[in-house]
A and B are shown apart, each in its own frame.
Chain A
Amino acid sequence: MTTATHHPRLALGPISYYWSRATTENFYAWVAQSPVEIVYLGETICSKRNELRHEDWLTIADQLQAAGKEVVLSTLSLLEAESELIRLRTICENGRYLVEANEMGAVHLMQGKPFVVGHSVNLYNDRTLKLLAAQGMTRWVFPVELTAATLAEIQPLRPAGVETEVFAYGRLPLAYSARCFTARARNLPKDDCRYCCIDYPDGLVLDTQDNNRFLALNGIQTQSARAVNLLPYLEQMRSLQVDIVRISPQAEHTEKIVDLFHRCLIGEMSPQQAAAAVDELTPSGSCDGYWRGEAGMNYNTRHS
């Protein structure tokens, strides 16, 4: 882990949107052949989404594992109902695959077993990392609002055996609510949502009144409209000993984005050049402000 040629591995985050079963299966058939090394699977946003059930995710997991991928099962980000806790326990007790805990209830259930802690849990300092490492945490995903400077502070202090993953590409997860904003936009009550989020495979864009594409509504989650693109900082991430870079799937061009990241990781392409190509593949522009200690929506225009 500390050799001079420290190459971050490439991970694909869970699909945050509601895609049809066929779309999802086709997507993972491609993933099996892709250069991605780690794949996070499962529904992380809304427990009502039912195109795929737990068994279906396990089938995909088995196929990906057979193709040589490291599979991680991701848990729901906001747990309220007992039915959701029952499903959470099934994931936590799966016994075969590593689990990404996306809130503290899942962390509690994973204690004593190896687990990943997702970006929606607030791990903002080394003392927090140490406590969770003692409970079995083997990897953490750097919270998306923190800066490269904070990562530089934490990395030398992180406990032994804990890998660091950075959310390097995709619309940023900004908030979770009890309210479903997609159903609200369609004037539907949450309890009769008609699964309308399936109509928005990249989320539903929210514009300001002066036509700035600002946010993306994804059910109970609010995302940034701009996708974070940290490819220009690949060398910096390397020097910070980042172990894994994560790409968050989107409806189109994920395979091209994965390819561009991969070519940079193996030295076939310069990150600056590839980043410009990635910018062209975003649904509505790029941002990198959090990484640089600014408003998250900002983008260093030298890259665009």
Chain B
Amino acid sequence: MELVCPAGNLPSLKTAVDHGANAVYFGFRDETNARHFAGLNFTPEKMAEGITYAHQRGVRVFLALNTFPSPGGFARWQAAVDRAAELNVDALIAADIGVFDYASSRHPQLPLHLSVQGSATNYEALRFFHEHFGVRRAVLPRVLSLSQVRHVIDNSPIEIEVFAFGSLCVMVEGRCILSSYATGRSPNTYGACSPASHVEWIETNTGLDTRLGGVLIQRHPKGENVGYPTLCKGTFCVDNNTYHAIEDPISLNAMELLPQLAEAGVKALKIEGRQRSPVYVTQTTRIWRAALDALARDPDNFVPRPEWTAELGKVSEGAQTTLGAYHRPWQ
């Protein structure tokens, strides 16, 4: 299985390459990708430098162009596709049907991957993207159980990449507009969920409130660790109970499923986190490389080492991890 690591900037790209990634993924510095955050992503010059660095060391590079343009914005996405082709990336990760149509007709040699934002959760959907655009690989949304992943792979005309580690989207990616409901900005249109521009931290008599678009997401007592107010990880009241009604602040860690994922025929494992620091990229890449090497040496006796789990726990949201939808009881 290929290890696909996040590169939010050049130092992250280099450290991922140096620590054993098989591929890195990144985006341009604008809303053409789903991690459109201030100070993140690549200018064309930095991107060229990063590609050279990776290619010289035998590591592939994938360009995420995985948001949905409106007609007026389409020319910019089109230009980004052209630039990706010129830069000689190893694959373009897209979500929008119009973008795929343009990329496949204009640059038939450019390998295409279906982004998780493309929301394909079954093999009939994968067949659509394969037939029309020759898409070679799809990243599955984080909603399928392990047996469902296996069933998709058994019937899929294309390679399957799944998320192995990182922040956990609870909703089907590409089909969640909670963020724009509260702020006007969503991953689909703007490339960011729960954007920092709409976050407020407000001190109160009892502690600290975090708000997104004015909506109270979290109420922290004095002294409690304050997390980022991602909408779906907030504390809300339902039927007089106050709890994480949608999801806890938690990260996905599928390492204990590595043997089953390999056996199911998963082609690549994705590490989430282009918005995270180079330190995070170094740690996650190094540990997952070690795990994949251990799996290759002795697939029948693979177990995650306690020190790997502990270190990954430290870089996880809320310092907690879950198997997410892979594990049926989570659902």
Contacts and interface: CB of A to CB of B under 8 A. Distances in A.
Interface of A: 77-82, 84-85, 88, 103-109, 111, 120, 122-128, 131-132, 144-146, 150, 153-154, 157, 172, 174-181, 184-185, 189-191, 204-212, 214-215, 217, 222, 224, 289-290, 293-297
B329 interface: yes
A296 B238 contact: no
B184 A294 contact: yes
B178 A175 contact: yes
Given A124-B68, A289-B184, 11 more contacts: A103-B122, A111-B128, A145-B177, A175-B175, A176-B176, A214-B236, A222-B178, A222-B246, A224-B181, A295-B184, A296-B182
Given A85-B122, A185-B245, A208 B331 contact: no
15 contacts: A82-B151, A85-B122, A107-B125, A109-B124, A122-B97, A124-B70, A131-B132, A150-B71, A174-B177, A176-B172, A178-B331, A179-B170, A190-B331, A215-B236, A295-B181
Contacts of B124: 79, 85, 88, 104-106, 108-109
B167 to A, nearest CB: 15
Contact of A104 (B98, B120, B183, B331): B120
B245 to A, nearest CB: 5
Contacts of B175: 77-78, 120, 122, 175-176
B contacts with A: majority SS: mixed
Given A85-B122, A103-B125, A191-B328, A125 B71 contact: yes
Contacts of B188: 122, 124, 145
Contacts of A205: 238
A244 to B, nearest CB: 21
Interface of B: 68-72, 74, 95-98, 101-102, 118-125, 127-129, 131-132, 142-145, 148, 151, 170-172, 174-178, 180-184, 186, 188-189, 213, 215-217, 219, 232, 234-239, 241-242, 245-247, 325, 328-331
Given A153-B71, A175-B172, A208 B215 contact: yes
A79 B122 contact: yes
Nearest to A200: B239
B95 A179 contact: no
A211 B236 CA distance: 9
B74 A127 contact: yes
Contact of A178 (B132, B144, B184): B144
B143 A153 contact: no
A23 to B, nearest CB: 22
Contacts of A78: 121, 143, 172, 175
A125 B184 contact: no
B76 to A, nearest CB: 12
B216 A208 contact: yes
Nearest to A191: B328
Contact of A105 (B70, B102, B125, B177): B125
A155 B181 CA distance: 24
Contact of B125 (A104, A127, A128, A132): A104
Contacts of B145: 80, 178
Nearest to A179: B331
A224 B151 CA distance: 33
- The winner among A122, A190, A204 for most chain B CB atoms within 10 A is A122
Contacts of A212: 215-216
Contact of A296 (B129, B180, B237, B329): B180
Nearest to B127: A108
A128 to B, nearest CB: 4
4 A-B pairs with least C-beta separation:
A127-B98, A105-B124, A178-B143, A104-B125
B203 to A, nearest CB: 15
B216 A174 contact: no
A81 B188 CA distance: 26
A122 B174 contact: yes
Contacts of B121: 78-80, 103, 105
Contacts of A178: 142-145, 172, 325, 330-331
